[in-house]
């Protein structure tokens, strides 16, 4: 599983990069707007935090393919490794053809149907981001859409990966993982919840208590070898 963090918050990114096997950070216009800082600073600061090896995804916002292409080029000028997110509108699909022809990596976003995903992959998108929770919220089946996308990628042998997005709870992440999606991007609050279990906490507390009763407070394995 490829884990990414869905935020532009520097403190959250710093914490997650330190703790978790995160291989990228994804943003969208709403996530960027929340930071209330210049876009240039946000992108440069995130890149500095995550280093050159991890992926950074940033979205275009224009409503024509030609201007989306210019936005993509400007983003690449700022960060040569950037992966440009493009929504799966008709202009977005046209933009994907133009942007991929420039050799810029693309994440197709705002995907709600497998057909949107298929066309985005054919237009050059490398990651395909279905919005799981937004589908679940309207009595859709976000997991099913993500699973069908993964199936289409296999069936047509496409050079693309599902990047499932928009999660509000751990069960949604688990369901898409079981369905075989290749990657997920998760907001920091849900990401932290992936590891939470009260029996893990009580189990670790029991180990510590037994250990310190036998060997003394503060003793680690290092003290005993
Ligand atoms: O970044 C795209 C996606 O994660 C949006 O999530 O929580 O706004 O539905 P959300």
Tell me: the pLDDT tens digits for 21-73?
Answer: 999 999 999 999 999 999 999 999 999 999 999 999 999 999 999 999 999 99
What whole-number distance in Å separates Cα of residue 80 and Cα of residue 85?
A: 14
Q: Is the CB of 136 under 6 A from ligand 1?
A: no
Rg (CA), the chain: 20
Burial of 146 (C-beta count, 10 Å sphere; 0-12/13-18/19+): buried
Active site residue 161: no
What is the pLDDT averaged over residues 74-85? Answer: 98
The pLDDT confidence band at residue 109, using thresholds 50, 70 and 90, is very high
CA 205 to chain centre: 32
Q: Is the CB of 26 under 6 A from ligand 1?
A: yes
pLDDT at 170: 98
Coil, strand or helix: which one is 112?
coil
pLDDT digits (tens, 9 = 90+) for 125-145: 999 999 999 999 999 999 999
109 CA: nearest ligand 1 atom: 2
Query: What are the start and end residues of each CATH 3.20.20.70 domain in the chain?
Result: 2-194
Domain 2-194: CATH superfamily is: Aldolase class I (3.20.20.70)
- Contact present, 108 and 27 (Cβ < 8 Å): no
User: Tokens 């050059």 correspond to what residue?
Assistant: 124
Q: Is the CB of 133 under 6 A from ligand 1?
A: yes
Which residue out of 15, 85, 94, 161 is catalytically annotated?
85
What whole-number distance in Å separates Cα of residue 89 and Cα of residue 174?
A: 29
What is the pLDDT averaged over residues 183-206? Answer: 98
Nearest CA to ligand 1 atom 9: 166
């Amino acid at each position: 599983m490829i884990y990414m963090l869905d935020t532009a918050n520097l403190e959250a990114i710093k914490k997650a990069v330190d703790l978790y096997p995160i291989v990228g950070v994804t943003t969208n216009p709403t996530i960027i707007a929340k930071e209330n800082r210049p876009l240039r600073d946000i992108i440069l600061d995130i890149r500095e935090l995550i280093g050159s090896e991890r992926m950074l995804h940033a979205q275009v916002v224009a409503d024509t393919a030609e201007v989306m292409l210019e936005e993509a080029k400007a983003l690449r000028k700022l960060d040569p490794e950037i992966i440009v997110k493009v929504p799966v509108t008709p202009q977005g699909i046209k933009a994907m053809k133009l942007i991929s022809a420039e050799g810029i990596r693309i994440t197709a976003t705002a995907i709600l149907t497998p057909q949107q995903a298929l066309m985005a992959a054919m237009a050059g998108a490398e990651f395909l981001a279905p919005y799981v929770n937004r589908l679940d919220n309207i009595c859709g089946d976000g997991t099913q859409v993500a699973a069908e996308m993964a199936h289409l990628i296999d069936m047509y042998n496409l050079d693309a990966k599902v990047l499932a997005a928009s999660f509000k709870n751990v069960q949604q992440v688990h369901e898409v993982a079981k369905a075989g999606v290749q990657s997920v991007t998760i907001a920091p609050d849900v990401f932290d919840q992936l590891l939470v279990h009260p029996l893990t906490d009580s189990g670790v507390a029991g180990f510590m208590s037994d250990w310190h009763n036998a060997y003394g407070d503060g003793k680690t394995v290092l003290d005993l070898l």
